[in-house]
Structure 1
Amino acid sequence: MDTPLAPQDRPTFPAEAVAWLVGASARTVVSLGSPEVTAALVVAGHDVATPQATRGRLPYPDRSVDVVVASRGLPDDLDDVARVLRPGGHLALVWNDRDQRIPWARKLDRCLGTEVAGDEPASPLVLCPHFGFVSEQSWRWWEPVNHESLETLVRAELSGLALEECDRRVAAALALYADYGRGADGMQMPWVARCYKATVVERPWQAPHSIDEHPGEQGVDGRAHHGKPVADEKPVDLLEPVVVDPEVQDASDSDLLLIDFR
């Protein structure tokens, strides 16, 4: 039996994605959803609150929060999210799916019955009058897994199912892992983090501005005049974001994908 991966050997949600989602300076953040994303926000030094219930009205005063980060789905009430955001604050969204270009990831999702986010998961945010232009970036990252850590991961994903059905799908996932014969060496779980953010609109017909901007510095297109960069968009030493092709491709389409996978 494989030994569990030590905590320091488990990569967290990419710090580069956190910096893009929230900003480089410390923020007051409400995190809804994924504990992995919440942990990465805390590590980055932000003041993070995690409400017990993620449905209905948020338990925070009006204009009291810099950023709301929602992972694993769009918040139910975008009006309420806009209510708690300070002027210049924004909503950030994260869909963290296994990379469907990798054959073993596709097979694992079939075993688990996982639904992957569609082509336009943030479309309700685009249409919401409370928020401005929606920016998008994606990051690919890899998580090493072995027999025991894979079981822990998939059981957490299937926690909403009845125990018998959960056990059946976990057994199928572990059989798939065993079929690859990696043993103690483990495998690499490929993830794609699709991230979105949009600044709250303070007044109708007024272009929103971020916390780090002054309203007078921004044009109606949401960009700073005279080529002056917005603070959150200042170049930093990050992993190069990637654009994910929505069409599922087989590993044969790219030599770069032929890494230990069938």
Structure 2
Amino acid sequence: MTRVIESWLTDMDGVLVHEGHAIPGAAEFVRALRDKERPFLILTNNSIFTARDLRARLATSGIEVPEESIWTSALATAQFLSDQVPGGSAYAIGEAGLTTALYEAGYTLTESDPDYVVLGETRTYSFEAITKAVRLILGGSRFICTNPDTTGPSQQGPLPATGAVAAMITAATGREPYFVGKPNPMMFRSALNRIDAHSETTAMIGDRMDTDVVAGIEAGLYTYLVMTGSTKIHEVDTFPFRPSKVVDSIANLVDLV
């Protein structure tokens, strides 16, 4: 590798943890980043939880991460909206991760003529809320989604996620949402700005070719694909783009910090 890596971005599920358990090498990797004071952020498309919630969940698995080192699609969405319409208003469908991020960005949550309808992930989508979103969008509110993931994991199997509900709203309104989370490189650029890092000296570690790697490439980052998550080694060559390097797991990268 010819590039000098000074800052790191890493996905969470499939890279650091799997079903609530730390992947071997993950705690050591994060500890090395902190010990050597490397700028880093842990990225996740999950908009359900606040950064504080996720910090606690990672700590339970043995990975100690400061709250400010976690960047969710909800936080990226709130930052994007604040840049677009400072102090605006939104009708939000989502959990505490999304509503807290919007509040902290100075947004007012309302059902009355909001600037935006913001759709995030939730385990309790209601027909009433979706109907309200459809009517507000038809009335002129702009449509934003935290991420395009159509399904999410659970112990019982896949669950419909943000992208699937967004498709329902699009079918009813004819309006496509703007997705902020991965694979939109917007999320990576907002993360770089947050830690004052530069793309040419930053690496992205991910487990998915179709989100982590492609967005990392589009954001100009050095990309590592790990084999501990979604994308399997035989699938890599089916994509029209390649990661900078494929490694077995996060454990292979500890010595590179």
What TM-score bracket applies, with the shorter chain setting the length? 0.3 to 0.5
Query: TM-score, normalization: structure 1?
Result: 0.38
Bigger Rg, which one: 1
Relative to its length, the structure with more helix (as a share) is: 2
